[in-house]
Chain A
Amino acid sequence: MIEQLLPPLFLPGAKIGFANVFILLALVLIGNKSAFIVLLLKCVLGSVFSGNVSAIMYSLPSSILALITEIALFRGVKSFSVISISVVGAVITSAVQNVIFCLITGTIANLTYLPYLVLIAILAGVIVGFTLYTIIKIIPNRVLDKIT
């Protein structure tokens, strides 16, 4: 909601997505189910309070797909850093949102924004991933023990 009050990031609709820090935090600290609950709350409440309820059509499927990919990368392939996994999630979210948007509105021409949205998503993913990494690094082990 606060991000929506800020001007768009180079392109309309493009945002850093700081709310995704909390989804990834729930995923890393608690588990898959908690991450999905946080994701649902973020999509539904964000759409309702921003006055744009139709945005759920775009944000929910893309966020779910991104989270499933992130879970697979976190649990399955353990060679990647949290920042690169965040980048993958951001790219999938942006790309899927753009595709759904073009299909629903019937304006395939807007797919021309896709490469630019992917580039912005890489930047957003790095920022979100680095924020998550820093939070986990800073929080003492004894506090993390109580949360997990």
Chain B
Amino acid sequence: MPLSNLLQSIKQGKPFKKADLIIYSVIALIVCLIFVFFALFNNTRKPTGFSVSLNDQVIITCNYNSSPVVKTGFEKQVEIEGNKITVYTSIKKTHYNVIEIDHENMSVDITMANCSLSHDCTFLPPIKNGQGALICVPNNLIIKSITGTFTPPVTG
């Protein structure tokens, strides 16, 4: 059976064609537009702290001027040691993320995790300003910056 027209065209053709310029131009335009959009709508407000959500529930908030506050009922899943917070996804303590706080530079980072093979969350850059978030998808953990008014979780 002879090769299909598609295979023939790839076999006999060159790796790049003139019409490819159309595709690359469109992509370049889209990238420029996205950069312009984010440059115009950049949030540069200073953060006052951050919140940690587990399974869509805020369990920790931390003002950079004080210690972290843990929501009632989650004390067994959270261990605080100096500037490090270890958050376990459940009381069984099988899966965890280690969060490191830099009070001086007002930034927070995920430094360790045992979530999956790739541990993508540990490669995310620390959040230093009012935007961005640190997310661990397998453990359903999200760390967000707080700017402006600070509302600690319910304790006691």
Selecting from A34-42, A60-68, A114-122, the interface stretch reads: A114-122
Q: Which residues from A are CB-within-8-Å of B16?
A: 81, 83-84
Interface of A is mostly: helix
Q: How many residues of B contact A (CB 8 A)?
A: 42
Residue from B7, B15, B38, B121 in contact with A28 in the complex, judged by beta carbons closer than 8 Å: B7
Q: Which residues from A are CB-within-8-Å of B135?
A: 101, 105, 107, 110
User: Which residues of chain B from 86 to 106 have a CB within 8 Å of any chain A CB?
Assistant: none
Q: Which residues from B are CB-within-8-Å of A4?
A: 117-118
Q: Which residues from B are CB-within-8-Å of A54?
A: 137-138
Q: How far is the CA of A122 from the CA of B142 in the complex (A)?
A: 29
Are A112 and B137 in contact (CB-based, < 8 A)? no
Are A52 and B9 in contact (CB-based, < 8 A)? no
Take A84-B17, A148-B4 as given contacts and tell me if A50 and B117 are in contact as well, using a CB distance cutoff of 8 Å.
yes
Are B117 and A52 in contact (CB-based, < 8 A)? yes
Selecting from B26-34, B64-72, B76-84, B148-156, the interface stretch reads: B26-34
Are B30 and A118 in contact (CB-based, < 8 A)? yes
**Does A130 sit at the interface, judged by CB under 8 A?**
yes
Q: Which residues from A are CB-within-8-Å of B117?
A: 1, 4-5, 50-52
**Does B40 sit at the interface, judged by CB under 8 A?**
no
Q: A23 to chain B: closest CB distance in Å?
A: 15
Take A81-B20, A107-B142 as given contacts and tell me if A13 and B10 are in contact as well, using a CB distance cutoff of 8 Å.
no
Q: How far is the CA of A112 from the CA of B30 in the complex (A)?
A: 14
**Does A124 sit at the interface, judged by CB under 8 A?**
no
Are A81 and B15 in contact (CB-based, < 8 A)? yes
Q: B32 to chain A: closest CB distance in Å?
A: 9
Q: Mark B2-44, 1 if CB is under 8 A from A, else 0.
A: 1110110111011111011011100100110011001000010
Are B7 and A109 in contact (CB-based, < 8 A)? no
Are B142 and A105 in contact (CB-based, < 8 A)? yes
User: Which residues of chain B from 109 to 156 have a CB within 8 Å of any chain A CB?
Assistant: 115-118, 120-121, 123-124, 131-133, 135, 137-138, 142, 144
Q: Which residues from B are CB-within-8-Å of A80?
A: 17, 19-20, 22-23
Q: Mark A5-34, 1 if CB is under 8 A from B, else 0.
A: 101100111000000000000001100000
Known: A5-B118, A28-B10. 11 other contacts (CB 8 A): A8-B123, A11-B123, A28-B6, A52-B115, A79-B17, A79-B19, A81-B13, A110-B132, A112-B131, A136-B11, A148-B7
Chain A residues in the interface with B (C-beta under 8 A): 1, 4-5, 7-8, 11-13, 28-29, 50-52, 54-55, 74-75, 77-84, 87-88, 91, 101, 105-107, 109-112, 114-115, 118-119, 122, 129-130, 133, 136-137, 141, 144-145, 148
Can you give 6 contacting A-B residue pairs, CB < 8 Å?
Answer: A12-B121, A52-B118, A80-B19, A105-B135, A107-B133, A118-B34
